[in-house]
Chains A and B, each alone.
Chain A
Amino acid sequence: MSKIATDSVGVVRPQSLHFDEPLELVSGKTIEQYEIVYETYGVLNAQADNAVLVCHALSTDHHAAGYHSEEDSKPGWWEICIGPGKPIDTNKFFVVSPSNLGHCSGSTGPQSIDPKTNKAYGPDFPIVTVIDWVNYQKRLADRLGIKQWAAVAGGSLGGMQALQWAVQFPDMLRQCVVIACAAKLSAQNIAFNAVARRAIMSDPDFHDGRYYDHATVPASGLKTARMLGHITYLSDDAMGDKFGRELKGEKLNYDYGIEFQVESYLRYQGESFVDRFDANTYLLMTKALDYFDLAGKEGGNLAAVFEKVKAKFFLASFATDWRFSPARSREIVSALTDAKRDVCYLEFASNHGHDAFLVKNDHYIDAFRAYMQNIEVSK
């Protein structure tokens, strides 16, 4: 008997596609050829009009739903939202979830071998932006025979990709699902990313990004970056509820060891992250976040940008998310209503901060499901 829940897509296998056509990047550089790893859930219908593209955030990847084996205890990052009967219902939709270029989970990135040098790219891997990601995702759609997505969906950095899709290829999606997101980062957000990068780059094991050559990793820097990030993804309330001022031991030791439970938790978060994430990828992903500015070319006029979009929008935010606060989502909603686009906007109560979009919450799941159920697809 499998222990996997019946509303899960079950055991899934990543697939990959090789792309030979060079990809010109916003930076002016080019990636000559690349590999994209992705997972799919559900079945593409004959008209190919039931496909949903799921875009991942900073620290997640192509593994959005299901398990990699019967014994696997940890499902994909959006298991609460993808599966039979869930908001992105795999009985209805064909879900495509790729790992972005520059990532460290199989798609071409800093850890991959540069065919020109036969060594890992490391810091020479060009910086890719949200626009570049949407461009390779367009090619992925072409290869999979998808002319128009029923929806493009994502949270946080994933939401930025969904927004960019609506602007860059307005005819290629019918719905745009943007959760816990913003049209650009605030100065405070960029500042957090700057500190995270500084932590990595000042680690003696970083070696200007060429740590693969030295058979080491900037573990300390990456841990610190993750600890900082993690604090900003949680709310004060969530941390208070979870840890308060609880001690790990019986009493205070009056030394500099790990004493409070919250310290121990953060250390664990940092350490487990180093095992699965690459420092160069972390640097690159934070840059992609910083650079994203949907209305940058329009002088910040979001409504003007939305004049040309055709998709319907579903936006959601969470009350205690201070990294991508409800006010940032409302800016997008306001611009969409100014541009007379179809939009639904919900703000959910949750004490999970930014991470709330990954946490089960009936109101969130019911509303998201109700919205997705209205999307028309061929039988």
Chain B
Amino acid sequence: MSALRPELQKICEWVKPGSRVLDLGCGDGSLLHWLQTNRQTTGYGVEINRQNILSCLKKNVNIIQADLDAGLTDFEDASFDYVIMTQALQALQRPDKTLAEMARVGRKSIVTFPNFGLWKHRLYLSTKGRMPVSKALPAQWYDTQNIHLCTVKDFERFCEQQAMIVSKKDFVDYEHRPATLMKLWPNLFGEVALYQINGK
């Protein structure tokens, strides 16, 4: 598990052994590979990037090439225990629609995203007057794939409005630092936010 980035390690703690998992935007398949090897999960990864798909095939992860923005119409209602989407929410055309689809096909959804409310981003914007660029968000405003960035507060407000029940949440950074500040003021100190949402 130590090879996985911190947010994925958290997810591994959350997912129950033997679960059926759908990982949307599964990247190189590391999370699914770890889960199927150590938690005996089954399921699929969905990915669109060619190199990532090849990595998944090499890891013996079931990979389905599809565009998340086109919906999850190929999957039945409530056919997965967990639908996971890490760091892809902010790159979707319509995050609200994809979250609704996740709730349809999964009994639980796990979503992670970079918190745009992080103090560094606030400081960058307020002192430089320009769109924040950081290690976590390295692209410029004109070429970024992150078209729907949100803060921890934004996301929680959205969940309330949509009557989505958050059953677990956590906040991590990219460097495995102690989490005291992140626990106290997540919207200011959490770099990556993790939410588990119960299905309808």
Residue among A337, A345, A371 making CB contact with B75, cutoff 8 Å: A337
> What distance in Å separates the Cβ of B38 from its nearest Cβ neighbour in chain A?
18
Q: How far is the CA of A342 from the CA of B56 in the complex (A)?
A: 13
Contact with A along B47-67 (1 / 0, CB 8 A): 000100110111010111110
Contact yes or no, A330 B74, CB < 8 A = yes
Contact yes or no, B65 A346, CB < 8 A = yes
The 19 sampled A-B contact pairs (Cβ below 8 Å) are A330-B74, A333-B64, A334-B75, A337-B44, A337-B74, A337-B76, A340-B20, A343-B62, A343-B64, A344-B63, A345-B65, A346-B53, A346-B63, A346-B65, A366-B54, A367-B54, A367-B57, A370-B54, A371-B57
Interface centre among A337, A338, A371 (most CB of B within 10 A): A337
Q: Would you call B42 an interface residue if the criterion is a C-beta within 8 Å of the partner chain's C-beta atoms? A: yes
**Total residue contacts A-B, CB cutoff 8 A:** 48
Q: How far is the CA of A89 from the CA of B153 in the complex (A)?
A: 54
A positions within 8 Å CB-CB of B: 330, 333-334, 337-338, 340, 342-347, 363, 366-367, 370-371, 373-374
Chain A residues in 8 Å Cβ range of B42: 340, 342
Q: Which applies to chain B's interface (DSSP): helix, strand, loop or mixed?
A: mixed
Select from chain A the residue with minimum beta-carbon distance to B50: A363
Contact yes or no, B64 A370, CB < 8 A = no
Interface centre among A342, A367, A374 (most CB of B within 10 A): A367
Contact yes or no, A333 B74, CB < 8 A = yes
Q: How far is the CA of A342 from the CA of B45 in the complex (A)?
A: 11
Residue among B50, B65, B79 making CB contact with A337, cutoff 8 Å: B79
Q: How far is the CA of A201 from the CA of B51 in the complex (A)?
A: 49
Chain B residues in 8 Å Cβ range of A340: 20, 42, 79
- In the A-B complex, the 8 residue pairs with the smallest Cβ-Cβ separation, listed nearest first, are A370-B57, A334-B74, A345-B64, A374-B60, A346-B65, A370-B58, A344-B63, A347-B65
B positions within 8 Å CB-CB of A: 20, 42, 44, 50, 53-54, 56-58, 60, 62-66, 74-76, 79
- Besides A340-B79, A347-B65, 17 more A-B contacts (Cβ < 8 Å) are A333-B64, A333-B74, A337-B64, A337-B74, A337-B79, A338-B76, A338-B79, A342-B62, A343-B44, A343-B64, A344-B57, A344-B63, A345-B64, A367-B53, A370-B58, A371-B57, A374-B58
Chain A residues in 8 Å Cβ range of B64: 333, 337, 343-345
> What distance in Å separates the Cβ of A313 from its nearest Cβ neighbour in chain B?
9
Q: How far is the CA of A371 from the CA of B75 in the complex (A)?
A: 23
Q: How far is the CA of A166 from the CA of B14 in the complex (A)?
A: 36
Select from chain A the residue with minimum beta-carbon distance to B22: A337
Q: How far is the CA of A371 from the CA of B56 in the complex (A)?
A: 9
> What distance in Å separates the Cβ of A370 from its nearest Cβ neighbour in chain B?
4
> What distance in Å separates the Cβ of B64 from its nearest Cβ neighbour in chain A?
5
> What distance in Å separates the Cβ of A226 from its nearest Cβ neighbour in chain B?
33
Q: How far is the CA of A344 from the CA of B57 in the complex (A)?
A: 8
Chain A residues in 8 Å Cβ range of B79: 337-338, 340
Q: How far is the CA of A342 from the CA of B43 in the complex (A)?
A: 8
Chain A residues in 8 Å Cβ range of B75: 334, 337-338
Q: How far is the CA of A338 from the CA of B60 in the complex (A)?
A: 20
Chain A residues in 8 Å Cβ range of B62: 342-344
Chain B residues in 8 Å Cβ range of A366: 54
Chain A residues in 8 Å Cβ range of B76: 337-338
> What distance in Å separates the Cβ of B95 from its nearest Cβ neighbour in chain A?
23
Q: How far is the CA of A363 from the CA of B74 in the complex (A)?
A: 24
Q: How far is the CA of A334 from the CA of B105 in the complex (A)?
A: 13
Q: How far is the CA of A264 from the CA of B125 in the complex (A)?
A: 65
Select from chain B the residue with minimum beta-carbon distance to A347: B65
Q: How far is the CA of A371 from the CA of B55 in the complex (A)?
A: 10
Q: How far is the CA of A32 from the CA of B65 in the complex (A)?
A: 46
Q: How far is the CA of A344 from the CA of B61 in the complex (A)?
A: 8
> What distance in Å separates the Cβ of A260 from its nearest Cβ neighbour in chain B?
36
Q: How far is the CA of A371 from the CA of B65 in the complex (A)?
A: 14
Select from chain B the residue with minimum beta-carbon distance to A313: B62
Interface centre among B20, B42, B50, B57 (most CB of A within 10 A): B57
Chain B residues in 8 Å Cβ range of A346: 53, 63, 65
